[in-house]
Amino acid sequence: MAARVIDGKAVAAALRAEVAARAAALPYAPGLAVVLVGEDPASQVYVRNKERAAKAAGFASETIRLPASASQAELLALIARLNRDPAVDGILVQLPLPAGIDPQAVIRAIDPAKDVDGFHPDNVAALALGTPFLVPCTPRGVMRLLDAAGIAPRGARALVLGRSNIVGRPMAALLLAADATVTIAHSRTRDLAAECRRAEILIAAVGRAEMVKGDWVSPGATVIDVGINRTAAGGLVGDVAYAEAAAVAGAITPVPGGVGPMTIACLLENTLIAAAARR
């Protein structure tokens, strides 16, 4: 039987509408500052989409663009200014940063109360301790997709493929907080296929086109594909060989139209959470 397709576009649209309605009821417009350093083409697209979504939700959004030649000191000075600005509730510095700027130093400089990416060590620690405040947007979006699809992590064997700070690690922490039995697999894992086959919930976040094959998927499993990989022909594919996996899985997210739209919706939600906690 073909898998049920989890429609991330629809779930994200509903969440964005809910965030916009909650923002409209506030006596102020939540403020989001997005910082882009340099001209990375993919980052430019992401930042433009974030700005557009924030404006559409009624937020006060500003995008600050620094040249690729900007120094770490200039970027830290900008962050210090945004930390002090009472109208700014959320600060997001788009990654990756140009060579010569230490991303960890930049992340540590952001006020944890305004860290809508959830990357600051204080927010990472809060999540690890099971008391999350601002959590990374993509894994948060995955949890919301599972919820919308009626898939309960409690007691389930969940496998997270990938251990990045942006997705894999916080994803595993969120699944654990939701009472799943969590395994993190990565490039050094022995027999990845066998690990994947044991999973009832399989989250692929490695950034390798169509790496997860159909016979890596347990019949009836839920497959969440976080990957966005550009093919030589200019198309987009995930980390999962979609057609093969969809023939075996119980539920699956497409690429595009799965996890991708959730990330921005959850960024708006995080900004609202940050605003509510500050004001």
The catalytic residue among 89, 111, 115, 117 is: 117
Encoded one letter per residue, x for contact with ligand GUN by CB under 6 A and - for no contact, window 117-136 reads x-------------------
**Catalytic residue status for 72:** no
Site map (CB under 6 A) of ligand GUN, residues 30-69, x = contact: ----------------------------------------
Count the helices and strands in the chain (H runs, E runs). 10, 11
Question: What residues from 70 to 99 belong to the interface with ligand GUN (CB under 6 A)?
Answer: 92-95
Peptide bond into 96 cis (omega under 30): yes
Residue type, 235: G
| Of the candidate residues 166, 212, 252, 265, the single one contacting ligand GUN (CB under 6 A) | 166
**Which residues, in sequence order, are CB contacts of 77 under 8 Å at separation 6+?**
none
Q: How many residues bind ligand GUN (CB under 6 A)?
A: 8
Q: Assess 137 for contact with ligand GUN (CB under 6 A).
A: yes
Is 9 assigned a catalytic role?
no
Of 251 and 264, CB closest to ligand GUN: 264
CB of 179 to ligand GUN, least distance (A): 25
Which of 94/218 has CB closer to ligand GUN? 94
Asked if 252 and 223 touch (Cβ cutoff 8 Å), the reply is: yes
Give the separation between CA 179 and CA 167, rounded to whole angstroms. 18
Tell me if residue 50 is catalytic.
yes
Question: Judging by beta carbons within 10 Å of its beta carbon (0-12, 13-18, 19+), is residue 43 exposed, middle or buried?
Answer: middle
N-terminal to C-terminal alpha carbon distance within the chain? 50
Query: For residues 58 and 103, which CB has a smaller minimum distance to ligand GUN in the complex?
Result: 103
Structure token digits, residue 24: 């409209």
Q: Which helix (H) or strand (E) holds 66?
A: strand 60-66
Q: Which of the residues are catalytic?
A: 50, 94, 117
Interface residues with ligand GUN (CB under 6 A) are 92-95, 117, 137-138, 166
